[in-house]
Structure 1
Amino acid sequence: MIRFIKRHYPLLLSFWIPFLLMGGYFAARQMFPFGHSSLLTVDLGQQYIDFFAFYRDTLLHHPSQILYSFSKAIGGDMLGVWAYYLFSPFNLLLLLTPGKWLTAGIMLMTLMKYGCAGLSFAWLLKKTKTASGLYIPALATSYALMGWMIANQLNLIWLDAVVILPLIILAVERLFTGASYIGYSLILAAALIINYYMSYMICLFLATYILWALTRHFKNWRQTGQVLGKFVLGSLLGAAAAAVVLLPTFYSLTQSKAQYTVTKINWKLEYAPVKMLSKLVVGAFNFDQMPTGFPNLFVGSLVLCGFLLYFGLKTIPWRERIVAGLVTLFLGLSLCFEPLDLLWHAMQFPIWYPYRFSFVVCFWLVWLAAISLNHLTQLRLPAGIVLTLLFGAGLYYVWTNLKHFNYLNQTAVRLSLLFSIIALALLVFKAAPSPLVPFTFLALVVVEMGANAILSLNQISYVTQSDYADYTAALVKAVNKVKQRTSATDFYRLEKTFMRTKNDSMEANYNSASHFSSTFESRIPNFMGELGQPAGDGFIAYSNGTLFSDAFLGIKYYLARNANWIEPAERNNNPLLPPLTDKPDLSYYNQVAHTKQVTIYKNPYALNLGFAASNKILKPQTNTSYPTIYQANVLSALTGSDQYAALFTPQLFATVTYANVKQRKAPLTQTYRKINKKKAATITYTFTPQTNDPYYLTIGSNLNSKAVSFSVNGKALQQYDTFRDTVIVNLAAAQKGQPIKLTITLNQKEVWLKDFQLYHFDTTSFSQAIRQLQAEPWQLTKNQNINLSGQINITKRHQVMMTTIPAAAGWRATVDQKPVKIKRALDTFIAIPLTKGSHTVSLSYWPPYLTLGLVITGVTLSIDGLYYYYRKRCAQHRLF
């Protein structure tokens, strides 16, 4: 063991220094299991952790969810989700951490990625003989704890790219020493499978890197041609080896993210490039830098010195330095020139987390620094003066413009000045034979990179462990109560009046109508928007359901906060069950069970996953911005009768009063303005329901909390705040004769009450229609994610089996064991025309292009195997 440690201590230190440094910080911040906090923040807390819980459930209990899941909104392909979020081999660690310990698993995974990033860069340095001794962990720590890594710690799914990039570069470097393309091809394929999105950026970087590497290792044109040929062949076969993931994922992207591709390019600088200097200062990060900010480039003073010295060292051939300069110029322009920025992000502006590709720029800085420090014997006076002037000018610029950089303060600039002075001094004594010099190099890197991590992450707030664990425990307990009431062949969807994240269904393993991911098919949010739900690019928050939308989508169970449960005082106004919506029409549902915190309702109107409906539903529905009209049209088409066109009837408010508000004089306008901008301004509407039927209010997409606040009878109205379509709000139900007062408080000086209309819902007509649709259900005998089968009896001609399964190219249908063509209803759902009589209808799902991907991957790996065997046999023959 001692011999092993002595031999490999640079690699061991390269792993353990980042691991322990960040582990110590997490423990000091009392991150679970060391205290009451957690690593959950922003997308890690609102999205990724739910996918990680889904990952555990899939591998341990429901493997078919790799291909398809009804936990993804009302159902969707999952290969794209897995390819973007879940194919990291580090995720296997999560199998060890169930329940509340999942946050501890996330911490372990984060620390492992920090450590392995250092280890992989150290391996590159060692195998290329670019550094030795303590210089290896010093440079590896600078890489593992670079500014990009710290700023994107919460984007855990991207960190694998930092781990694998040095291994890919090592494989490229080995092409110049006679290695075959196979090693490079396989590691590239692994990267593409683990995370195709970040690997796309790596591929772009490789296209520039190979030009520099060919110049650096140039011997003759024949060698250059051979290496370039192996590089191109390895790249193509690497992509082919990953085809099993890339092909179905690419198709999935054409249905989701690719639909938002930018087609108009502005040929402009996004900001003054000199502002990037602020990101080379220690601690240059805060929350405001997440949605919009400058690229995270911090790599430490020693690396920055080494990088700058690279271009002045005469021991490095001039042609190598010139090409390196051109590559640097390209990377630098990419960080501020919009067309190149778009190119790196696959022609889509990032939503939050700008300049995601800057990890390759950081790698480039550290790699060139390692090469130059390997050539440098001692810092000479001319070079020292130039470096001093450059550092001085950069820090002076940042100091005098601090007011423009709200993520920095004077202390951070002073620290950077101190670290820069120490780094320059150390370079002067680099040639000294004392072992203290490399040790001091390492110590400086540890202190500086640690200081950057602490100063940066201290500016971010995190979800407490109890907020996550207690909520999840309460949700899982309620969901399990529902499951106890159902059989394996029952299909139902479940929703709630409270929400922690839009992916709660993936956390607690149930079918829902909400979802949030970057690979969400655009058709589903578009449909939900027409239905009156908050939806947008990549998300649905099913918070505004009506009796009809709940019934149509088969939302059979609802969870609501138990009215008899009292919130513990120690939660300090931080509710265990964060409220999502007010839903008075729950009074039409039946209370069937409860837990300590949650009451469970069963929806007597819920339709089955499939049911007999009029073939009029196959006709295109008239597009309308009014969800009440759209819902009535859908019900009419399902039943084949026009009598339900008045399902929602417009109602007038009884009275309206204004306080510090005046209405524009233009005719028919609903624009209101504050009279005195400094005082509160309100509009109060009143009405008294004449029936116990539900009453709904529609509000336009501009009426979010920035514009107005709503209250009903003095109580704040719960409404999900992000929506791009007109939504439906439930104001009253079972409240006949009880006065309702709706107060609108203007939060802006002028507000347009777009699509503001009160409606009465005709429950009698609705019940009649639903009974008709419930009479002929698709009774499932097989209920699996990718295999559904059941019986349905059709009693009338011109009917279809309508389903609320999103239509997708991967679905195949059989009726009485004979293949049939699937129709699309409402431009969204699967519908199957059927003749009169009893039928067995089966649906199966297989992702488009997965079979072709399997064939291409199999053939490619076979070619690689045969070529490896051929080379091995040739080598054996040469030995004899």
Structure 2
Amino acid sequence: MEFSFKKKNVTKLYLEYTVLFLFLALCIFGTYLVTGHSIIWSKDALNQHLPLLAQYRQAVVNFLHHPGKLNFWSWQFGLGSDTFQVFSYYNIGDIFSYLALLFPAREITRAYQFISIIRMYCVGLSFVYFAQHFKFKNTTILAGTTAYLVNSFLLYACVAQPFFTTPFILFPLIVVQIERILQGGSVWPLTGAFTWMLISNYYLAFILGIGSLIYLILRVTTKYLRVLNYLQVFIKLAFATITSLLLSAIMWIPELIAVSHSTRLGAQFANGLKVYPLYYYLFLPKQLINGDQWSFMFWSALGIVSIGFIALVYVYIHAKKYPLITISLSLALIMLLIPAVGAAFNGMMAASNRWTLLIYLPLAMAICLLVENATSLSHHSLKIISSATGIYVVVLLVTFLFESENDIIIPLLFLITSLLLLWLINFHRLSYPQLWLFGIIVLNAGFNAIYASFPFNGDFSTKMLNRGQYQQMMAMRYGGLDKGLTRTPTYRVSTISQNQIIDVPTIDNDLTSGLHNIDSYYSLQNQYLGDFSTSLQNNQYQANVPLRQVDDRTVLNNFLDVKYLFVQSDGENATKIPAGYFLDQSSTPIINYDSGQPSNIKDKKDFIPTQTNRYKSNNAFPLIYWQDSYIRQKRYHKLSPTERERALASGVVVNRENVTKGMKAANLNNHVYKLKSNLISNRLNKVNPQNLKYTDSEEKYRIELPQLTNSTFRRKLRGSELHIEFSQIKFTPFSMKEQLKYEQKHLQQMATNPGSSVNYKYNQYRYWRYHVLNGSPDISFKINVGSRFGTATINQPKQSTLSFFKQVKNSTLNIGYYAGGLPDHLSFQPTKLGTYQLKYQVVAEKLDDHYQNQVANIKKHGLQNIKFGRNQIQGTISTSRKGILTSSIPYSSGWRATVNGKAVKTVRTNQAFLGIPLSAGTHQIKFTYQLPGFRPGLIVSIAGLIWTLVAALISLIMFNRKK
């Protein structure tokens, strides 16, 4: 396998590839269009990729109209965020994003879908460029290109995570340019590839960088170990690396700062996994050729055309001839078995095997080698291939019998057909043998692509938006009730937890209405917001989504300046409205006669309509306001989560306590009442929550609140929000043996009819199979607490949830606000058998006149005459004594402040927000934002550009002298 840099006439090859791509694109994307869908996924594409593309397109247009005027801060990203932090991950370095400039703003959905297709075309183009450096026939190259282009990873990524297609373009280019240097060629192409890699996306650059290093080491040890000019190669590689780092510094320096101050920091390594669940190892062989599947199992997608297995056997038969491919794929297999590897490639976080994008290149090359040498296969080689295939088929059939999923049947048929073709070629029964192999590969790839997107294949196509749906959804994001509201950042909006107005699984970000929703879902989030959420035990906190709807807690909504709530009347938690929010407006009612109606309706007026409701509160804190009372950090940390939340209206916590000298300590007598509680089973047993051994899935529980049976005490707590504060949550799942024992015991207890019999042997297998397929025993569980408002849930995700995994050790559940009397009991239900060690306290947070007076005082001291400019906010305020000007603007080291024109050091208030100390008097306040690391990055990049130009000039002079 020899690289050659001799010039070839490849025009015909690229034309043939273009024709091939048109067919494959029809299979990949055409099915969605035939079934009335778009190629816009209803999760990340809806929440992030498409609206961010629209936002970034507009930002570029604005910059082109007003050069030099960069907007580093946006109020559209949740509470407000650094635009670079968001755009650098998704758009800035993505060259394909700039194709959106060719489309008018109203055609952004067409632009997004067009770009998705162009990306895929470039993936195949990159492999063709790579493969043309070998002595392959055009048919061979196109066969490998088909395998490289159509695989499970890309079939998913091209519509769900489009920028994950970029490394498929970059990796072949980088490999070619490394090889060029090893053969004594120019350093400039590798410098360009490295620069593109570093600019495109820091996360993908990290994966590609490690992959490039592995390739370099393996290539040198297998090919150039004794013939390499090490000094020359080292100098060239060092030049390419250093130059690309200098040129891209304007991207990676601010990115590095953003990552180091994000919620990603401190994630549990590999989500705590030492080994993968049993099902992972059982189904990994199936993953290799199951090209139409979406169960990635820790992103171990694989899923190539079926002949890929035969190609692997072929290259291992000739391992001495192809050491680079065999060693790299053997190494990849070992890496796939160890969660720590996935975590290392994933920035020391979850065990995500996205790094597998690197192994499609050697897999596709193995297919090229098989196709190229199909006519010269010996009988001996074919017998080995047939035996290996027979064993593999048995493994797949056993997998099929165990899992009972028919998604492997068609790949299996293509595998057997490919083997038969090889035998027919060996017996000289086929003319144009390579064309036959190419045909079966294209047919296999096309079928995989169609099957992956066809409606009967389960659910992926149903997760794509219908054509034209995106525009309708964005126009009706709040049921039309946002019309008439001002679009100023001086107030924010939210929804109710699990209450979906738009009919999609989840919609977090709002980048289209112009309103400022507190919910945000991005890969990089402000670390301090995560600290704030964790401090208050926000049950909805996730690293990617730090706030969501803050579990509908009244004080948190008020503190975050949420003036309006939008609620769907037939959705979950529709009645769980925080205190002080009153019905302000409703959409036109629609009556669904077939669902959600009482069974005994006698009059048409009794039908319950469905509508979107807008609730308003007059208790929203100002965006920026003055407080004269402070809370010492030691005292703050001794408070319970509800007391901390309630204290937000009493005073301010600052990270530099020296600035509070001369201020008064806050009065924290805030009417948060602890309630006695008992946990009672439906067997009428009093249960110790610190040792709850849950052995029967039919056992039900209640949290009884005995004090609330007293009418006087209930009246005292009228107008309270009820919380359950879990200071300890520990779950120990039963072993598989224990699990099966308790489930069999339950069946025996249920067999109460005379003559009933339990088939223990059958049920033993049935339950064991269920647990294996579901990865149990595992640490996941749910705890559901029910009330008249619905069900509040603590959710410990599975370790396979990757980016959304969190270790739940404590949490606070908001049961809801009760204007009248609190309930005397709540339902309580764990979902997984095992032992629970729980410590919790039920508390009532009374939101009475005392709270209303505190809010009124805060509103009275809000910053006046607020004006928002590019990267700045300014206003005026008069204060009678020393205090802190605090806010709900996320804190960043990029904020600068002046008071009456004089610079003042900012402080971090209430864990996460921007503030400054303020003396008595009338003040003109101005906050300005500068991207942290932008200036150093710009200086380094300018130096890198000068260095590159000088080096290019020297290189040109030397080249001319040689000529």
TM-score, scaled to structure 1: 0.83
SS of residue in 2 equivalent to 1:708: strand
State the distance in 2 between where 1:119 and 1:542 align: 45
Hey, what does 2:723 align to over in structure 1?
Answer: 698
Hey, what does 1:73 align to over in structure 2?
Answer: 78
Hey, what does 2:596 align to over in structure 1?
Answer: none
Aligned 8 A contact 2:493 2:516 in 1: yes
> Can you list the C-alpha shifts for 1:779-831, whole angstroms capped at 9, x where unaligned?
254314621222121211x3121122222222122222222211222332222
Hey, what does 1:188 align to over in structure 2?
Answer: 194
2:131 is aligned, of 125, 134, 138, to 125
Give the partner amino acid of 1:521.
N
CA drift of 1:765 comes to: 0.9
1:448 is aligned, of 444, 453, 457, to 444
Aligned 8 A contact 2:270 2:339 in 1: no
Do structure 1's residue 554 and structure 2's residue 561 form an aligned pair?
yes
Q: Which moved more, 1:685-694 or 1:192-201?
A: 685-694
CA drift of 1:846 comes to: 1.9
Hey, what does 1:664 align to over in structure 2?
Answer: 686
Do structure 1's residue 772 and structure 2's residue 857 form an aligned pair?
yes
Give the partner amino acid of 2:812.
V
Aligned 8 A contact 2:74 2:83 in 1: yes
Question: For residues 336 and 673 of structure 1, do their structure 2 counterparts lie closer, same or farther at Cα, with a shift above 3 Å needed?
Answer: closer
Aligned 8 A contact 1:502 1:514 in 2: no
SS of residue in 1 equivalent to 2:651: helix
Hey, what does 1:472 align to over in structure 2?
Answer: 474
Hey, what does 1:496 align to over in structure 2?
Answer: 495
State the distance in 2 between where 1:58 and 1:549 align: 32
Hey, what does 2:348 align to over in structure 1?
Answer: 347
Give the partner amino acid of 1:10.
E
State the distance in 2 between where 1:778 and 1:48 align: 35
* Structure 1: gaps spanning 5 or more residues: 33-37, 564-574
State the distance in 2 between where 1:872 and 1:407 align: 61
> Can you list the C-alpha shifts for 1:337-368, whole angstroms capped at 9, x where unaligned?
34433332232224xxx311111112122134
State the distance in 2 between where 1:679 and 1:618 align: 45
Give the partner amino acid of 2:558.
A
Give the partner amino acid of 1:345.
N
Give the partner amino acid of 2:527.
S
CA drift of 1:752 comes to: 7.8
State the distance in 2 between where 1:627 and 1:819 align: 35
Hey, what does 1:634 align to over in structure 2?
Answer: 648
Hey, what does 2:398 align to over in structure 1?
Answer: 400
CA drift of 1:657 comes to: 11
State the distance in 1 between where 2:231 and 2:666 align: 73
Hey, what does 1:276 align to over in structure 2?
Answer: 284
Question: For residues 803 and 674 of structure 1, do their structure 2 counterparts lie closer, same or farther at Cα, with a shift above 3 Å needed?
Answer: closer
Hey, what does 2:754 align to over in structure 1?
Answer: none
SS of residue in 2 equivalent to 1:260: coil
CA drift of 1:207 comes to: 1.1
* Structure 2: gaps spanning 5 or more residues: 1-8, 590-610, 653-662, 731-779, 797-805
Aligned 8 A contact 2:27 2:447 in 1: no
Aligned 8 A contact 1:122 1:140 in 2: yes
Do structure 1's residue 460 and structure 2's residue 459 form an aligned pair?
yes
Aligned 8 A contact 1:710 1:743 in 2: yes
Aligned 8 A contact 2:170 2:197 in 1: yes
Question: For residues 324 and 421 of structure 1, do their structure 2 counterparts lie closer, same or farther at Cα, with a shift above 3 Å needed?
Answer: closer
Question: For residues 827 and 504 of structure 1, do their structure 2 counterparts lie closer, same or farther at Cα, with a shift above 3 Å needed?
Answer: closer
CA drift of 1:184 comes to: 0.9
SS of residue in 2 equivalent to 1:481: coil
SS of residue in 2 equivalent to 1:285: coil
> Can you list the C-alpha shifts for 1:545-602, whole angstroms capped at 9, x where unaligned?
44432332222333334x6xxxxxxxxxxx6xx5466443455457278688544444
The share of aligned pairs that are identical, in percent, is 16
State the distance in 1 between where 2:61 and 2:899 align: 33
State the distance in 2 between where 1:772 and 1:681 align: 43
Aligned 8 A contact 1:118 1:144 in 2: yes
Do structure 1's residue 857 and structure 2's residue 856 form an aligned pair?
no
Question: For residues 631 and 268 of structure 1, do their structure 2 counterparts lie closer, same or farther at Cα, with a shift above 3 Å needed?
Answer: closer
CA drift of 1:99 comes to: 9.2
State the distance in 2 between where 1:143 and 1:78 align: 35
Aligned 8 A contact 1:792 1:840 in 2: yes
Hey, what does 1:367 align to over in structure 2?
Answer: 365
State the distance in 1 between where 2:228 and 2:407 align: 55
CA drift of 1:47 comes to: 4.9
Do structure 1's residue 648 and structure 2's residue 672 form an aligned pair?
yes
Aligned 8 A contact 2:724 2:843 in 1: no
SS of residue in 2 equivalent to 1:813: strand
Q: Which moved more, 1:147-156 or 1:805-814?
A: 147-156
2:386 is aligned, of 385, 388, 393, to 388
Hey, what does 1:141 align to over in structure 2?
Answer: 146
Aligned 8 A contact 1:399 1:413 in 2: no
Question: For residues 400 and 16 of structure 1, do their structure 2 counterparts lie closer, same or farther at Cα, with a shift above 3 Å needed?
Answer: same
1:420 is aligned, of 380, 401, 418, to 418
Question: For residues 325 and 336 of structure 1, do their structure 2 counterparts lie closer, same or farther at Cα, with a shift above 3 Å needed?
Answer: same
Do structure 1's residue 584 and structure 2's residue 580 form an aligned pair?
no
CA drift of 1:536 comes to: 2.6
Question: For residues 720 and 600 of structure 1, do their structure 2 counterparts lie closer, same or farther at Cα, with a shift above 3 Å needed?
Answer: farther
Question: For residues 341 and 263 of structure 1, do their structure 2 counterparts lie closer, same or farther at Cα, with a shift above 3 Å needed?
Answer: closer
SS of residue in 2 equivalent to 1:790: strand
Give the partner amino acid of 1:258.
L
State the distance in 2 between where 1:423 and 1:255 align: 57
1:710 is aligned, of 786, 808, 829, to 786
Hey, what does 1:22 align to over in structure 2?
Answer: 28
Do structure 1's residue 260 and structure 2's residue 267 form an aligned pair?
yes
Question: For residues 198 and 123 of structure 1, do their structure 2 counterparts lie closer, same or farther at Cα, with a shift above 3 Å needed?
Answer: same
Give the partner amino acid of 1:439.
L
Give aligned pairs, total: 833
Give the partner amino acid of 2:620.
A
State the distance in 2 between where 1:217 and 1:431 align: 38
State the distance in 2 between where 1:207 and 1:557 align: 53
Question: For residues 219 and 699 of structure 1, do their structure 2 counterparts lie closer, same or farther at Cα, with a shift above 3 Å needed?
Answer: closer
Hey, what does 1:542 align to over in structure 2?
Answer: 549
Question: For residues 719 and 802 of structure 1, do their structure 2 counterparts lie closer, same or farther at Cα, with a shift above 3 Å needed?
Answer: same
User: After the TM superposition, which residues 288-327 of structure 1 pair with which residues of structure 2 at under 5 Å, given as runs?
Assistant: 289-290=295-296, 292-293=297-298, 295-313=300-318, 318=320, 321-327=322-328
Aligned 8 A contact 1:116 1:163 in 2: yes
> Can you list the C-alpha shifts for 1:366-397, whole angstroms capped at 9, x where unaligned?
13443565566522222222222222222222
Give the partner amino acid of 2:344.
L
Question: For residues 513 and 528 of structure 1, do their structure 2 counterparts lie closer, same or farther at Cα, with a shift above 3 Å needed?
Answer: farther
Question: For residues 431 and 75 of structure 1, do their structure 2 counterparts lie closer, same or farther at Cα, with a shift above 3 Å needed?
Answer: farther
Give the partner amino acid of 2:724.
I
Question: For residues 604 and 854 of structure 1, do their structure 2 counterparts lie closer, same or farther at Cα, with a shift above 3 Å needed?
Answer: same
State the distance in 2 between where 1:100 and 1:717 align: 41
Question: For residues 785 and 600 of structure 1, do their structure 2 counterparts lie closer, same or farther at Cα, with a shift above 3 Å needed?
Answer: farther
> Can you list the C-alpha shifts for 1:519-549, whole angstroms capped at 9, x where unaligned?
2233313312433532133322224344432
SS of residue in 1 equivalent to 2:518: coil
State the distance in 2 between where 1:18 and 1:413 align: 17
State the distance in 2 between where 1:671 and 1:305 align: 55
State the distance in 2 between where 1:363 and 1:870 align: 35
CA drift of 1:492 comes to: 1.6
Hey, what does 2:253 align to over in structure 1?
Answer: 247
Give the partner amino acid of 2:342.
D
> Can you list the C-alpha shifts for 1:150-192, whole angstroms capped at 9, x where unaligned?
3444232312111222222222233345542222112222122
